[in-house]
Amino acid sequence: PGHPEPSRPGVSHPGPRSDAQKRHAQANAVTSLLDAPVGTVEAGTLPEDVRHALGSDTASVRLSGETVEKQQHHHPDLTEEDYRALPEVLGRPDVVARQSDTHILLFRKLKAIYRAVIKRTRDGGENYLVSFHRTRPHAVQQALAKAEILRGAIDDLTDAGE
């Protein structure tokens, strides 16, 4: 007693999912929260080095309905396609920087440069997405000037000539 059961009768446990399948399921969960911003969903999974740098016990990143509502107010330009990129941004960042003991900045270049801010709870038991938006190279430079870069460099986000 006191230990979680590995499986319960009547509960389906499909085999291990690939990272791509997991990111797809997370993207679906994120977009479902856009329509009904209530509760929390798993928005992504941090790489092990990022989890460790954040000082967290878990790699899972939660997104709350409250944050979605804040996002929709502050970043109304973000589309469903942008939000579907969130698991990719969280799971495969090009640049990682420490903003504080409890906050990490992640940047990923896809069709746009995305910036995500992750915070861990004080006890390290959970991670939450605080902010997510598209950004530009100049804004990335400004953000990184105030942070400790743990992985990558601004050049990883820009094309020659930008």
**Which pLDDT score is estimated for 33?**
87
Can you spell out the DSSP letters for 97-109?
EE-SSSEEEEEEE
Tell me if 109 sits within 8 A of 124, measured CB to CB: no
User: pLDDT tens digits for 81-114?
Assistant: 999 999 999 999 999 999 999 999 999 999 999 9
Tell me if 106 sits within 8 A of 39, measured CB to CB: no
User: pLDDT tens digits for 112-152?
Assistant: 999 999 999 999 999 999 999 999 999 999 999 999 999 99
Full-model pTM? 0.84
Helix, coil or strand: residue 58: coil
Q: Among positive and negative, which fits the CA dihedral 24, 30, 34, 39?
A: positive
